[in-house]
Amino acid sequence: MILSVLLIGTVFFFFLSCRKTDPETKTEFIFGTTCSITLYSEYSQDTFTQVFSRVREIENKMSVTIESSEVSEINRMAGVNAVTVTSETFNLITTALGIAEETEGALDITVGPLVSEWGIGSENAHVPPKHKIEKLLEHVDYRKVVLDADNQTVFLPEKGMRIDLGAIAKGYAGDQAVMFLRKSGVKSGIIDFGGNIIVFGTKQTKEPWKVGIQQPDSNRGSYFGILGLAEGAVVSSGTYERYFMKDGIRFHHIIDPSTGFPVRNNVDSVTIVAGSGTSADGYSTAVFVLGLERGIQFVENKTDLEAVFVTNEKNVYLTKGLKDSFTQTKAEYPIASFE
């Protein structure tokens, strides 16, 4: 009996620690979405367990829906006290405020009060009365966040202020997953956190990775085009992610910090290609708010970013750096240009 338990235990342990060389995908529900990781070689079952627990650790620090998170504590202490946080939370907030500065507040993590009032994606989703939105907007301004780098504290100086890292945390978690996997010796893989994609390493065939870009009017998994890339992140922000319909209007989850309403422009989705998931995620939300003309101009001025825009007329606009790596796969989504 003992021998058979030992034997099973040994076989089980061998199975767990054995490093595999064929691809495998595992999925967990984190950040309110499905998070999948595909590993190609030099990994074991332990690798999956450990990498997902690293991702959960980040969720537990940064999610606003987790009461014990550092971000929830910052929000609870708004108008009361500065809150000491871990360096990764402090650094990600610093990065987000930097993108806010660069995009003149298109990305603004202090939209928290509006995000929770609109409740998009939750059972409470509704159109708030205009006076309420105006009241909440008084507390939305990324320039008010007080950071103290020496003591690693974050302070929201007004009661009613609230930060939300939903626009950037998944991208950061993806980067951290890749960093963990590389350190564990994994040679290549794909991170897909709710459609935020990061590819790393080289495929066995040595061909570039091919990443499908989500069709904004369709279920997850339908693509209007494919991007070939060596390594890096491909992240989309769109009206299709979380929304509700009322009176024929789509109220989606990206809030324009200057109006307090879901962004209304002619863009259905923006996909950013960048070296890191943090950048791709942060800028995808920001550039969506900027809209087509300002957004393309912004991305063209940044050497480390490229973008694909889809308008509500299904026209596709590409930044110059993507002209050779993008392949159109649906006739209804033609490539357009300003020229």
Q: Which positions touch ligand AMP (CB under 6 A)?
A: 107-109, 111, 115, 164, 166-167, 237, 241, 253-255, 257, 281, 284-285, 289
Residue 25 CB contacts under 8 Å (≥ 6 apart), including other chains: 36, 37, 38
Q: How far is the CB of 120 from ligand AMP (least distance, A)?
A: 7
Min dist CB 66 to ligand AMP, Å, is 14
Options 55, 71, 163, 167; binder of Mg ion; rule CB under 5 A: 167
**Distances from the Cα of 42 to the Cαs of 12, 51, 178, 179, 230, in angstroms?**
18, 14, 14, 15, 20
Does 276 bind Mg ion (CB under 5 A)? Our answer is no
Closer CB to Mg ion, residue 96 or residue 186? 96
Nearer Cβ to ligand AMP, position 167 or 305?
A: 167
As a whole number of angstroms, the distance between CA 52 and CA 125 comes to: 30
Q: What is the DSSP string of 51-95?
A: HHHHHHHHHHHH-TTSTTSHHHHHHHTTTT--EE--HHHHHHHHH
CB of 162 to Mg ion, least distance (A): 18
Position with the least CB separation from Mg ion: 285
Q: How far is the CB of 167 from ligand AMP (least distance, A)?
A: 3
**From ligand AMP, Mg ion, none, interface partner of 109 (C-beta below 5 to 8 A by class):** ligand AMP
Binding of residue 241 to Mg ion (CB under 5 A):
no
In this complex, which beta carbon is closest to ligand AMP, that of residue 39 or of residue 177? 177
**Residues 119-158 as x/- pattern, contact with Mg ion by CB under 5 A:** ----------------------------------------
Rounded to the nearest 10°, the torsion over CA 51, 55, 60, 63 is -170
Q: Is 47 in the site for Mg ion (CB under 5 A)?
A: no
Q: Tell me how long the chain is.
A: 339
Q: How far is the CB of 309 from ligand AMP (least distance, A)?
A: 14
Distance of CA 174 to the CA centre of its chain: 8
Helix axes 277-290, 169-183, angle to 10 degrees: 160
